[in-house]
Amino acid sequence: MKKDKSSEEAFCTTIGGQALIEGILMRGPEKQATVIRTKDGLVTKLETPKFLRERYKFFNLPIIRGGVTFVESMVYGVKALSYSAELMPEEEQEKPSKLDVWIEKKFGTEKAQKFIIGLAVFLGICLSVGLFILLPTLLAGLVRHVSDSTVVYNIAEGAFRIVIFLLYMLFCTKMQDLKRVFQYHGAEHKAIACYERRLPLTVPNVREQSRFHPRCGTSFLFVVMFISILVFSLVGWSNVWIRMGARLLLLPVVVGISYEIQRWSGRHDNWLSRGISAPGKALQRLTTAEPDDSMLEVAIESLNLVIPDKPGVDIW
């Protein structure tokens, strides 16, 4: 980022967001806003979510809060994605499958929507766990034909995990339907960066900001990959299926530790915090793209809607 006189007053905010289909979900300390650009203009939806960690102190304990926050973010994210898809022109919407029609007929529209969202979150978690946790462990088991060394097994598993993760990211960038989503992702980062520098939220000011942000979900996923290698290496190699089971048991610990590391690095600006966020920011070259001005307008609108009335409430 360019240095200017306002950079001395810069701060880190707890406000974060998620790119949607032609829109952005922005979440602040008190409210969350979904802003979608349609052919008729901007459509906004303002909500006041109640998170478990706010209602129960147990779920806000260090390590515990990481997994809870991750799952709840997925739930609200899928809801917002579903909402943005519903606002798209009918010719761009996918026709409901026979399963969707059956579920809606069986349970009713409201219950069917909750069921489908819950199913989507469950399948998303299963896909992530299977692809990035269990598959590398299974592939590393093949190394036993080459070596009996536990160190070699752990290195192979870590290497498989990172390669699969990078290939997955690269595959996503090749999907044409995601190109504009990545642009909205960049717009979200730019708007937050502009706000953190205490600059007026205008299109010219936001456009000048970097699309790479240290507290991005992409950075969090990379931290999860790295921490999983360290934590999983503590479990010795035995039967590959027992090892896969151990991975599942340790996964909440990995997510919890990764969340705390991300939380700490977001609060500090030193060589260590910059080092932690550097790999994730490099990966954002794949998951973000330069947005156009109309996308920046969506980001600005969504951010303005969740900025708390009382100054300082959203300081990280």
How far is CA 186 from each of CA 4, 16, 163, 307, rounded to the nearest angstrom? 22, 12, 24, 19
Using CA atoms, how far apart are residues 312 and 66, in angstroms rounded to an integer? Answer: 23
Strand order from edge to edge, sheet including 41-47: 16-20, 23-27, 32-38, 41-47
pLDDT at 105: 62
Strand partners of residue 38? 41
Instruction: Specify the length of the chain in residues.
Output: 316
Using CA atoms, how far apart are residues 126 and 193, in angstroms rounded to an integer? Answer: 33
pLDDT at 97: 56
At residue 83, what is the residue type?
Answer: Y
pLDDT at 110: 58
What is the chain's pLDDT, residue by residue, as a tens digit (316 residues)? 444 444 457 788 989 999 998 999 999 888 999 999 998 899 999 998 888 888 888 888 888 988 888 888 888 888 888 888 888 775 555 555 555 555 556 555 556 566 666 777 777 778 888 888 888 888 887 777 776 777 778 888 888 888 998 888 888 888 877 889 999 999 999 999 999 999 999 999 999 999 999 888 888 888 888 898 888 887 766 677 888 888 888 889 999 999 999 888 878 778 888 888 888 888 899 889 999 999 999 999 999 999 998 888 888 7
Pick left, alpha or beta for residue 34 (phi over 0 → left; psi -120 to 50 → alpha; otherwise beta): beta
pLDDT at 6: 41
| Token pair recorded at residue 201 | 């939220």
Using CA atoms, how far apart are residues 205 and 121, in angstroms rounded to an integer? Answer: 36
Using CA atoms, how far apart are residues 291 and 235, in angstroms rounded to an integer? Answer: 44
Using CA atoms, how far apart are residues 46 and 170, in angstroms rounded to an integer? Answer: 33
pLDDT at 207: 96
pLDDT at 197: 92
pLDDT at 115: 66
For the beta carbon of residue 175, count every other beta carbon within 10 angstroms: 10
pLDDT at 143: 76
Q: How far is CA 84 from the centre of its chain?
A: 17
